[in-house]
Amino acid sequence: MPIPDSVRSSLAQRLNQRRRDRWPQLTGVRLRFRGAFAYVDGVLEDGEVLRLCRLDYGGSASSWGFAIYLASKDGYEQSVLPTGSFTGSPQEALDCACGLYLGDISAWRIGRR
């Protein structure tokens, strides 16, 4: 199922707001779309781009499937969020991926938003 333009726009706004609120190490969040997938990259101050995760659109703008980027295999692998679920908000997915790649696992505390 392709991601509607309105959902793409909302997703970008939500992730960039979360980046501003929680992840000052990132100067931006870049999104790439392909079919039902949204690929999320983080941009560091020096311009380096980190692949973070892939979100799987299932028809809801508030609940997405989650796959973490694994540099070791140069690909994405379906993963569980800290809540124990395979689906969650885009902000939870960003926190999970940034917690790993930016070394701040305090973001994985459930209920901390």
pLDDT in tens, 21-56: 999 999 999 999 999 999 999 999 999 999 999 999
Phi, psi at residue 106, to the nearest 5°? -60, -20
Res. 4: pLDDT tops 70: yes
Residue 112 — very low, low, confident or very high, per pLDDT cuts 50/70/90? very low
**pLDDT (0 to 100) of residue 60:** 94
